[in-house]
Structure 1
Amino acid sequence: MLAVFLKTLPFFALIGLGWLAARSRFFPPEGAAWLTRFVFFFALSAMLFRFAAGLDLGALFDGRFVMAYLTGSGLVWLVGLVLGRLRGLAVPEAAMEAQCCMIGNTGFLGVPMLVVLLGERAIGPVLMILTIDMLVFSTLITLIIHAARSGGLRLRAVLPVLRGIVSNPMILSMLAGLIWSSAQLPMPAPLDDFLTMLGSAATPGALFAIGASLAGLQLARLGAACWLGAAKLVLHPAAVAVTAILFGVGAFPAGVMVLAAALPVAGNVYILAQYFGVAQQRVSAAILISTAVSIVTIPLVMALIGQA
C-alpha cells in the first residue's frame, strides 16, 4: 500500500503546489484560468491526438467495456437523481448532484496519471471513458436542465449542446488522431517530436491547474457534499466493478475502468453548475472533498484491484 501511495504522491503534490500558489495569491486567479485554457486547447489536445493516432478503432471501442461502464455509471447517476428528488430537490439540482456522483476528472487527472501509472495499454480504455462521459453524460445533464426549465425539450436547446460537442478540443483531437490512424498515415519525426514536447506539458500543467482552480472553491453544504464525494469515490468504482464482471470485461481494462471511476469529481461539473446557476456550493465542496480524499482512496483502489 505504501509503495502504491508513493507512486501517486507526485501527482497530488503537483495539485497541492497549484493550490498553494493560488491560495497565497502568488498565482492569480486569471493565471489559473489561462493555464487551464492552455492545457485544454493545446497541451492535452496534443497528448490525446498523439495517443489516438497510435490506436485503431478496434483498440478504442470494446462493446462489453462500453456497456459495462454505461450501465454501472448510469445506475449511479440514477441513484444520485432519485435520492436528490427524495430530499425535495428540483429536477435541475437533483440532476447536478447525479452528475457529481459519476463524472470524474478523467481529462485533467485521469489521462495523465493513469497512462503514466498503468502504461500505454491504458490509453484505449481511458479515452473510451473520457468520450462516454463527454458525449453521453455531459449531454444528458444539459438536456435535462433545459427541458426542466422550459417545460420540454426544444430544438433551440439541443443545437447549442451539439455545437459544444463538435467544438470540444478533446473530442476533436481524439477524432483527428483516429482518422490519422485509420488512414495509416506515417507520423513524421518532427511532428511526433512536436506533439511529444507539447503533450508533455499536459501532465504538470493540468495537475497544477486543478490545484489552482481548487483554491477558488468554497466549502459549504458539507452534508450533501460528503455524500456526493462518497458516491463518486466509493459507489461509482464499486458499481462499475460489478458491471465489468457481469459483462465479462477483461481484467486489465476492467481495472482501468474501476480506477477511472475512482477519480474525484471533475471540475467541469462546477463549470456547468455555475453556467446554469444550480447547486454551486455543494458541487464546489464535493470537488474539494473528493479531490483531497482521493489522495488516499486512489492508491487503495489500485492496491485492491492489483494494478499497483
Structure 2
Amino acid sequence: MLDVLTVTLPVFLIIGAGYVAVWRKVFSQGQVDGLMMFTQRFAIPCLLFLAMARLDLSEGFDWRMLTAYYSGSLVSFGAGVIGTLLWLKRGIEDAVAVGFAAMFANTVLLGLPIAARAYGEDSLAPNYTIIAFNAAFCYFIGISAMEAVRAGGTGFLGGMKTVARRMSTNSLMIGVAAGLLVNLTGLPLPGPISEALTLIASAALPAALFGLGGVLVQYRPEGDARGIILCSGIALILHPAWTWGIGRMLGLDQAAFRAAVLTAAMAPGVNSYLFAAMHGRAVRISASSVLIGTAVSVLTVSGWLLLL
C-alpha cells in the first residue's frame, strides 16, 4: 500500500499546495485563473498535440478498451439519473446534470499524471485514445438528454450546434485534432518546433495540478450531502468497477485494461460544474462533487491501483 501511495500522494500534494496557496491568499484567484488559462489553452493542447501526433494508431485505438470505458460512462450517467430521481427525489433536469457529473471523469489533469507515475510515460497511448473522445462523447450524451427532457430550450439540433461550436473552439480538442492530422498525413515536425512544444508540454501537468487545487477553492461543499455521495460514489466506484468487468470479459491486454480502469476511477472533472452551470441545474451538487470527489479519490484511486 505504501508503494501505491508513493504514486498517488505527490499528485494530490501538488493539488493541495495550490488549494492552500489560494485559500491562504498567497496566490489570488485571478493569478490561478491565469495559470489555468495557460495550461488549458496552451500547455495541455501542446501535450495532447504531441501525444496524438506520435500515437501508434494501429495499437492505440482498441475498440474493446473504448467499449469498456464508454459503456461505463453510459452506465454511470444512467445511475446518476436514476439515483437522483428515486433517492434524491429531484426533477429530471437535475437528474441529467448529476448524471453528467457522474460520468465525466477528470481524464487529463488527474488521469494522465497518475498513470504516468504508476506505469511510466511510455504507457500513456491508451489514455490519450480515451481522452480524444471523452469531451465530445459526454457532452453529446448530456446535451441530448437535457434537450430531450426539456420543454422548450434550443432543442436537440440547437444543442448539438452548441456542442459542435464549443468543441471546434476548445483548445484541447484543437490540440487532439491537429495531432491526429499530423499523424495521419505523416507531416514531419521540424526539430526546433518539436523541441519547443516538448518544453512547453513538460510544464503542462504540474502547473495544471497546482492550478486545479487553486480552482477547487471556489467549489465549497454546500448542503446536498446525499447528492455528493451519489455522484462521487458512481464516479469513483461504479465507473471503474464496470470498466473492470467489461474489460475482463472482452479480454483486454494488460496496458489497455489498466488505462481504462484507472482513467474510469478518476474524480469528476471541472466540466461537470460547467455543464450544470450552463443549464442552471444541480450546480451545488456538481461543484461540490468535483471538490469532494477529488479529495476522496486519494484513497479510492490508491485502492484501484493496488487492485491493478
Fold equivalence (TM over 0.5)? yes
Q: Residue in 2 aligned with 1:37?
A: 37
Q: Residue in 1 aligned with 2:305?
A: 302
Q: Residue in 1 aligned with 2:188?
A: 186
Candidates 167, 176, 180, aligned match of 2:178 = 176
Candidates 266, 270, 277, aligned match of 2:269 = 266
Matches within 5 A, 1:137-216: 137-151=138-152, 153-216=155-218
Contact 2:76 2:99 in 1 (8 A): yes
Q: TM-score, normalization: structure 2?
A: 0.93
CA distance in 2 between counterparts of 1:3 and 1:39 reads 29
Contact 1:57 1:178 in 2 (8 A): no
Identical aligned pairs, as a percentage? 30
What is the CA-CA distance between 1:150 and the residue it aligns to? 3.7
Q: TM-score, normalization: structure 1?
A: 0.93
What is the CA-CA distance between 1:15 and the residue it aligns to? 0.1
Contact 1:67 1:247 in 2 (8 A): no
4+ aligned runs moved over 4 Å, structure 1: none
Q: Residue in 1 aligned with 2:64?
A: 64
Candidates 287, 291, 304, aligned match of 1:288 = 291
What is the CA-CA distance between 1:239 and the residue it aligns to? 0.7
CA distance in 2 between counterparts of 1:106 and 1:39 reads 15
1:225 aligns with 2:233: no
What is the CA-CA distance between 1:46 and the residue it aligns to? 0.5
What is the CA-CA distance between 1:210 and the residue it aligns to? 0.9
1:125 aligns with 2:126: yes
CA distance in 2 between counterparts of 1:225 and 1:160 reads 28
Q: Residue in 1 aligned with 2:116?
A: 115
Contact 1:19 1:214 in 2 (8 A): yes
Q: Match for 1:291: what amino acid?
A: T
What is the CA-CA distance between 1:173 and the residue it aligns to? 0.9
Q: Residue in 1 aligned with 2:245?
A: 242
What is the CA-CA distance between 1:154 and the residue it aligns to? 4.1
User: 1:217 is paired with a residue of what secondary structure?
Assistant: coil
Deviations 1:15-73 (A, max 9, x none): 00100011112211222222111111100001111111111322331111112222222
What is the CA-CA distance between 1:260 and the residue it aligns to? 0.5
Query: Which consecutive residues of structure 2, in runs of 5 or more, have no partner in the other structure?
Result: none
Contact 1:49 1:176 in 2 (8 A): yes
What is the CA-CA distance between 1:121 and the residue it aligns to? 4.2
User: 1:25 is paired with a residue of what secondary structure?
Assistant: coil
Candidates 231, 247, 260, aligned match of 1:257 = 260
1:184–1:228 CA distance, 2 compared to 1 (3 A): same
CA distance in 1 between counterparts of 2:156 and 2:72 reads 29
Q: How many residues align?
A: 305
What is the CA-CA distance between 1:189 and the residue it aligns to? 2.0
Contact 2:22 2:29 in 1 (8 A): yes
CA distance in 2 between counterparts of 1:90 and 1:3 reads 44
CA distance in 2 between counterparts of 1:5 and 1:136 reads 32
Q: Residue in 2 aligned with 1:18?
A: 18
User: 1:195 is paired with a residue of what secondary structure?
Assistant: helix
Q: Match for 2:124: what amino acid?
A: I
